[in-house]
């Protein structure tokens, strides 16, 4: 358990320019726990982390701040044909990515925009050769969710025939945007030089 107080918090990464905005002084409070159990030919590890980041002056949640993360890893070394297996499940909870998702009142700072929670399943199967000097493995990840989630404000479409500078629309639409996490599979070969 712990907390950190910082003179400046950064968040709300712009999806187009990559710039961050200084949100002022902030505090992060967190709690983390890890449980690990080893057996003769296997092991299990569970990790839990929860964090909360807020602006010191207003108490508002810092956008894109840490949130709930749960991770479970299991390994087994003595499968048939000298195979070794490892499986992992990771859950990353919802995070606040900004304000203004109340389309009836975009200036409502309590109308938080929430990202989508992520789930990732990772699998690995390895076959060592020559007493571990050479390893041949297959890795795969199946994912659900988005990475780099943030909010983007979309302006209204101007009416045909509009001349001159466009007025700032009063009812901009705030949307949560992100890049979908892809699933993949790969094959790798490692070789250890020396003894």
How far apart (Å, rounded) are the C-alpha atoms in residues 68 and 187?
Answer: 31
How far apart (Å, rounded) are the C-alpha atoms in residues 74 and 46?
Answer: 9
Establish if 46 belongs to a structural domain: yes
pLDDT by residue, tens only, the chain of 195 residues: 998 888 876 665 555 555 567 777 888 889 999 999 999 999 999 999 998 888 888 888 877 766 789 999 999 988 888 899 999 999 999 888 877 776 666 556 567 788 889 999 999 999 988 887 899 999 999 999 888 788 877 765 555 555 555 555 555 667 788 889 999 999 999 998 876
For residue 137, the model assigns a pLDDT of 94
CB 151 within 8 A of CB 97: yes
Establish if 84 belongs to a structural domain: yes
How far apart (Å, rounded) are the C-alpha atoms in residues 111 and 93?
Answer: 18
Establish if 162 belongs to a structural domain: no
Establish if 78 belongs to a structural domain: yes
For residue 104, the model assigns a pLDDT of 65
Consecutive H or E run containing 30? strand 26-38
Take residue 126 and report the two structure tokens written for it.
Answer: 């390895």
Q: Report phi then psi at 155, rounded to 5.
A: -80, 160
Establish if 161 belongs to a structural domain: no
For residue 162, the model assigns a pLDDT of 55
Establish if 115 belongs to a structural domain: yes
For residue 144, the enclosing domain spans: 2-156+167-191
Number of domains into which the chain is organized: 1
CATH no. for residue 83? Answer: 2.40.170.20
The residues near 185 (Cβ < 8 Å, ≥ 6 apart) are 138, 139, 140, 141
């Amino acid at each position: 358990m712990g907390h950190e107080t910082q003179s400046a918090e950064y968040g709300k990464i712009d999806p187009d320019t990559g710039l961050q905005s200084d949100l002022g002084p902030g505090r992060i409070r967190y709690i983390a726990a890890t449980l690990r159990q080893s057996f003769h030919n296997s092991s299990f590890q569970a990790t839990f982390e929860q964090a909360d980041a807020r602006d010191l002056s207003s108490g508002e949640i810092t956008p894109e701040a840490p949130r709930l993360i749960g991770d479970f890893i299991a390994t087994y070394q003595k499968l048939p044909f000298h195979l070794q297996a490892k499986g992992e499940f990771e859950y990353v909870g919802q995070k606040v990515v900004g304000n203004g998702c109340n389309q009836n009142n975009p200036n409502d700072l309590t109308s938080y925009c929430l990202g989508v929670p992520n789930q990732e399943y990772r699998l690995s199967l390895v076959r060592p050769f020559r007493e571990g000097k050479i390893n041949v493995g297959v890795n795969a990840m199946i994912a659900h969710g988005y990475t780099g989630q943030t909010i983007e404000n979309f302006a209204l479409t101007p009416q045909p025939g509009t001349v001159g500078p466009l007025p700032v629309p009063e009812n901009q639409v705030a949307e949560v945007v992100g890049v979908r996490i892809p699933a993949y599979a790969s094959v790798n070969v490692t070789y250890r030089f020396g003894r």
